[in-house]
Structure 1
Amino acid sequence: VNTRRNLLIQNKRVGKSMEKLSSGLRINRAADDAAGMTIAENLRAQVIGLSRAVANSQDAISLMQTAEGALGEQHNVLQRMRYLAIQSANGTLTSRDRKALQDEVFQLIDELNRIAKTTSFNSINLLNGNVGALVSSDDPNKVSGIIVGNVGSGGTFSVAINAVGLGKLQVQNSQTFVTVTEAGEPLDASANTQLQSISRLQDFGVFAGGKDSVTLTLSSNVDNKIAQVQVFATDTLGELAHKISLAINDPDTTTDLGLASGKSDGAALVSISKVGLAPAGGSVGATSLMVTTPEPGSTVVFGGEPSLLTAFGFNQIQAPVQPVFSLTVIDIGEGKIATKNARVFGGRAGNLIRGVDISFRTTLDISISGSQVDSVGAYNISKIVPNSLPGPDGFVIQVSPRPLSFQIGPNHGNFINTQIGDMTAKSLGIEGLNISDQLLAQESIKPIDTAIDLVSAQRSTLGAVQNRLESTIANLSVANENLSASESQIRDLDFSEEMINFTSAQILNNSGTRFLAQANALSNNVLTLLQ
């Protein structure tokens, strides 16, 4: 019985050794090493997680490279736009030349928007703001938020805007218009005088060669719209004034410049002025066109037929001055962000909401009076007044972050976040870029430089994150190697040691088998004696 018991023990030892040698594992079941199995499984989970985290980081780098490549092409587009703006700012070009340059700018702006809206990785749009933040306003036609950086935790904000400095309107005046009687005497033109009868237009051959019409264009530094006015030889001076006024602001069309859509009824944008040659108060005499740009700080420039521009000879008698606005931003969500106040020139304010610029039109809290006037030299121009509602205009802007989150570790919380801003032309501040005039082309260089800086900042952020991910991959690979070795040390079999155990168990098993046979033989000998 003792021999049989020992033989069974050795049979189990041989079976376990053969199981370990055939699988190559020291722990094949929990009974082999309960504590060791627990430790090994924990290490195995870490190793599997590290392997996946390395793959995640590599995928994240691919995404970053996709976005960075698209931003690099946007840089090329912006550099081309800057080149065209500098070219257009040169005095050797005609208005037709600048019109051709502006046409290319239109195409480049469209290309910027196409890149921003179509660049994607695994169907995730990268440059349209979807992986940065969502910004909404309760009145987007008046106030909007533009993502320019990391918005942090976002929030809901009350924005109060109040005009504290009304600025000045641009006022331009043409040369004086006269006709010549049959007797050769000059006679001041009037609203009913046909353009073909005005001596300046005759002197510069505006309608020479049988032309019955020419084109006058208007553009502004507010937008890149170009409004066209068809000027006929038979138009009266009054009809021309009306056409120019509608080109500046016509609520019934979208082909106008769209300036000051909220202007007061009755405010004259283009008038036929009759003033004396002396300062204000002189006798009524010389006739000219006076054009008022209905947004303070904004500029309207004329282009088109060169002879017509020369005949008009518009001269700026009052330069535009940007209005000053006071903005107050209050966190009405969680209330954790301190109230901020700022004064800004123009219609865009930064550093009041993290990662978001507040954009608004300069006519938000300002209107043009239809009855009150200011005197500029010998001329009376429409007066800028605060809007009819007392106090600031109030709005609500909500910012909701939507960062890209990359799981770069094997455990909960092992992730990094990054944001890619809205890279459309609107967010870059060049949606309305206008180089159709020499002055506007000079002014357009600055917003292009700002856009280049924004794209550079975003590319730098992506590059920094990519470098971090590459360091993360190196660190994860080292951790994966070490943890794999640790798991192997616990779980995997030491073949040399186990062969010794197997050989020992096999020898004892063979020996036990032989002695059990001897024990059985002894029993048979006893039976032989009984026969």
Structure 2
Amino acid sequence: MSMVINTNIASIGAQRHVTVAVREQAEAMERLSSGKRINSARDDAAGLGISNRMTSQIRGLDQAVRNANDGISLIQTAEGALDQTTNVLQRMRELSIQSANGTYNDSENRASLDAEFQQLLMEIDRIAETTKFNGQTLLDGEMEDVALQIGADANQTVEFGIENMSTKSLGMGSTNSDLMGTDMILTAGSTFTSAGSGVSIGYNDVNINGQSIIKPGGTEFVPTADSMDNLVNSINENVQGVSATLVGVAEAKITGDGNITGTEEITVTLTMADETVQSYKIRDADSMDEVVSKLNDTGNGAFTASVVDGKFVVTAEGVANVSVTDGGSAIGGNISANARLALSSDNGDPIKIERGTTGSYADLATLGFRESTEAGTIEGTGISNASTVWGAGDVNINGVAIEESTTAASLASKIDAINAVSDQTGVKAEAFVTAELDFSAAAAYSGVGLMINGVSADAASAGATLADIAENINDKTDLTGITATISGQKIQLQGNASSLQIGGNTAVANQIENLTAISLTITKGDTVSATSAMTAAGNIVNGGLKMTSENGTPISIDLGTAASAAEHGLIESNVSAEGSYGTSINSMSIDTAAMAQKSIDVIDRAITAVNDQRGELGAINNRLEYSIDNLMSVSQQTSAARSRIVDADFAAESAALSRAQVLQQAGTAMLSQANAAPQQVMQLLQG
């Protein structure tokens, strides 16, 4: 064996082993002191990435559990408040049934019952306005779209909504279960007048909930000849789930003093659908409250008189017309209103009235309705630029007064006025226009000379069809803002515009017979004759107001009496995210037997609405509890998996530490021996 002193191989080897032992000892000590197997990426690069992803999931799951528990707390807060709302509604129903009993009089007994009834109405609103969780009001409609993040990753949510539980919304169900049209003009014989000229409604012309109001092969309904009883009976016989009635609503702003003295009297006259006339008179009154009480006592359920927001209102069912004659100055003037066709859902399901495959806008307009296929939307009739400016109290939307800021009244200024307060009402307005062209033959329409908003929409070829004309109109929508569809022998025009100019030549063989619009009907022999030519500027269809709820809350329209229907094209109504509604409980009272009877049905709908909401909240609560159990289970199993990757095994690490310590001590001893080995060379040299 060679002996060298420049390179001590044994020492180098011992140093290497001691270094490894020191490192292993340090690693074991770090793991034992931290309790973690992975203390840095060098310990396990792949394991570090896996464990960090697991850590994200575990922490996300734990936060999701907390989120779900917060959601349960929110739901329980809302459900507890709705429990009290239910109790209030039950008491209101009890009072309504009591007031409906014939043993009470209006002026004393029912007035006392109504006093408590009105206080309970206010309590429902107070609950809706003040029930909060973490600063958020729960029952005012602002929580209709709640998303709870109950997962560790993005978009792992549970969504639910809490509807508006105020009196303005309660009682209207969750769908458009009541619809009322505009006034229908009648002759003395209870038939329609010029509002229905040229219109006959047959099978599949007008559908309610997909059912024709005229049965197959049935006799067509001709407004100018048939009585309204025939219409109501036809709907009730042919449409399942919907009941039709006639309702007259006469109202006027109170400008009088409520006093009836001497020979003065107030007369309510009801012209019934069967042409009979009933009159009711009262004398001697000192206030509007007494006027209302005496009229309701005299009417004995034939009509209902009330004072609502400063207006005197008389409502009667089954009438063709209701009028009020003020013989003095109690009210401040006479009132008259024609019947409206009222449709009521038998079970609270939606009511949708629309044109059938052979129907027209004129068919719907004759019945006092407009077709709207958009949710949360209400459409009015046409408004001309000659309309008056809306003033204080003329139009209120969702309780906010709408006033035009300009003295130059127009549809545009009215739209601007509505949109100026949309942040308060939640309602946006725009213009819309609808018209219908009725042609007299089935083919060859060249030479009609049709002009839409000053743009030629005529078909050039000699063999042009209605489809050709409609296609030509739609090709120029960018210029006119109008689109066209075909229904039978009619072309129906629609667009978002304040007016529509239509012109054409009726002298050709296949002429335009009729032009029917929102508020304008031009028939052959009327404004446009069969021998004259229509000009683009000669026939202007006025656009109407189209209002849409931005957040799904109901649209409540309250109209004053200073502006006529021609000035706003609207009727008082409530419109939800799904359509038009009837009465809500905030407008109810039980100061008459008739109102008490009506309030029972309205309150029943309100209770159903609250029950449905509570049922949904209860279901979400249970779902969240199951979700929490699942989240905690997943978190537990993931934590166990991460522990196997990250956490130190103390038994193994203790053994590793002992081994490293022994090796370090042995290595140090051997390093000492290796370093002393070169001394043997000196012995060789000395010898």
Q: TM-score, normalised by structure 2?
A: 0.44
Residue type matched to 2:289 in 1? T
- Whether the aligned pair in 1 keeps the contact of 2:79 and 2:617 (CA below 8 Å) is yes
Local SS of the residue matching 1:113: helix
Kindly report which structure 2 residues correspond to 1:140-289, keeping only aligned pairs within 5 A, or say none: 149=174, 167=246, 169=248, 194=263, 217=289, 254-257=309-312, 269-270=324-325
Structure 1 residue runs without a partner (length 5+): 134-143, 152-158, 172-190, 197-205, 220-225, 230-246, 261-266, 273-290, 298-319, 330-339, 362-386, 403-420
Q: Which residue is equivalent to 1:390?
A: 520
Measured after TM superposition, the shift of residue 215 of structure 1 is 5.3
In the alignment, what sits opposite 2:97? 86
1:122 paired to 2:138: no
Distance 1:496 1:34 in 2: 23
Residue 497 of structure 1 deviates from its aligned partner by: 1.3
Measured after TM superposition, the shift of residue 131 of structure 1 is 1.5
Q: How does 1:301-312 map to 2 (within 5 A)?
A: none
* Residue matched to 2:55: 44
Residue 519 and residue 214 in structure 1: after superposition, are their counterparts in 2 closer, same or farther (change >3 A)?
same
Kindly indicate whether the alpha-carbon contact (under 8 Å) linking 2:377 and 2:548 is maintained by their aligned counterparts in 1: no
Q: Are the counterparts in 2 of residues 90 and 438 from structure 1 also a CA contact under 8 Å?
A: yes
Question: In structure 2, the residue corresponding to 1:59 is in which secondary structure?
Answer: helix
Asked if 1:495 is matched to 2:650, the reply is: yes
CA RMSD, Structure 1 to Structure 2 (Å): 5.0
> How far, CA to CA, are the matches of 2:88 and 2:369 in structure 1?
24
Q: CA deviation at 1:49?
A: 0.3
Q: Could you tell me whether the CA contact under 8 Å between 2:354 and 2:364 is conserved in 1?
A: no
1:422-480 alpha-carbon deviations (Å, 9 max, x no partner): 9xxx9982011121011221121000000000011111111111111111001000000
Rounded Cα–Cα distance in structure 1 between residues aligned with 2:343 and 2:674: 116
Give the helix-richer structure, 1 or 2: 1
2:674 counterpart residue number: 519
Match for residue 8 of structure 1 among 15, 19, 32: 19
Question: What code does the residue aligned with 2:669 have?
Answer: R
Q: 1:108 to 1:44 in 2, by over 3 A?
A: same
Equivalent position of 2:560 in the other structure: none
How far does the alpha carbon of each residue in 1:58-82 deviate from its partner, in whole angstroms, 9 at most, with x for none? 0000000011111111101111100
Shift of 1:516: 1.2
Give yes or no for contact 1:296–1:321 (8 Å, CA) kept in 2: no
Q: Deviations over 1:461-515 (max 9, x none)?
A: 1111111111100100000000000000100011111112111111111100111
The SS at the match of 1:269 is strand
Correspondence for 1:485 among 632, 640, 644: 640
- 1:110 paired with 2:240, answer no
2:592 aligned residue? 437
Instruction: Give how far 1:83 is off.
Output: 0.6
Contact 1:119 1:125 in 2 (8 A): yes
Q: How many residues align?
A: 354
How far the C-alpha of 1:146 sits from its partner, in A, is: 10
In structure 1, what is the equivalent of residue 233 of structure 2? Answer: none
Structure 2: distance between partners of 1:228 and 1:67: 43
Residue in structure 1 matched with residue 621 of structure 2 by the alignment: 466
Instruction: Tell me the secondary structure at the aligned position of residue 257 of structure 1.
Output: strand
Distance 2:372 2:652 in 1: 70
Structure 1: distance between partners of 2:105 and 2:552: 47
Alpha-carbon distance in structure 1 between the residues aligned to 2:659 and 2:544: 93
Deviations 1:172-206 (A, max 9, x none): xxxxxxxxxxxxxxxxxxx995479xxxxxxxxx9
Find the aligned partners of 1:54 and 1:348 in 2 and give their Cα distance.
Answer: 51
Asked if the contact 2:68/2:624 (under 8 Å) is kept, the reply is yes
**Residue in 1 that maps onto 2:65:** 54
Amino acid at match of 1:116: A
Q: CA deviation at 1:125?
A: 1.1
| SS of 2:585 mapped into structure 1 | coil
Give the distance between the partners of 1:439 and 1:359, measured in 2 at CA.
31
Q: Are the aligned partners of 2:380 and 2:545 in contact in 1 as well (CA < 8 Å)? A: no
Larger RCO: Structure 1 or Structure 2 (Cα < 8 Å, ≥ 6 residues apart)?
A: 1
Q: Distance in 1 between matches of 2:126 and 2:77?
A: 15
1:148 to 1:126, Cα distance in 2 relative to 1, 3 A: farther
Alpha-carbon distance, 1:388 to partner: 10
Identity %: 33
Q: Residue 15 and residue 108 in structure 1: after superposition, are their counterparts in 2 closer, same or farther (change >3 A)?
A: same
| SS of equivalent to 2:638 | helix
Q: 1:160 & 1:439 partners in 2: Cα distance?
A: 19
CA distance in 2, matches of 1:349, 1:389: 11
Residue 94 of structure 1 deviates from its aligned partner by: 2.1
Q: 1 CA distance for matches of 2:263 and 2:669?
A: 135
Q: How many Å separate the matches in 1 of 2:617 and 2:33?
A: 50
CA contact (8 A) 1:435 1:444 kept: yes
In structure 1, which of residues 64, 69, 74 is the aligned counterpart of residue 85 of structure 2? 74
Q: Distance in 2 between matches of 1:480 and 1:55?
A: 13
Q: Is the 8 A contact 2:32 2:650 kept in 1?
A: yes
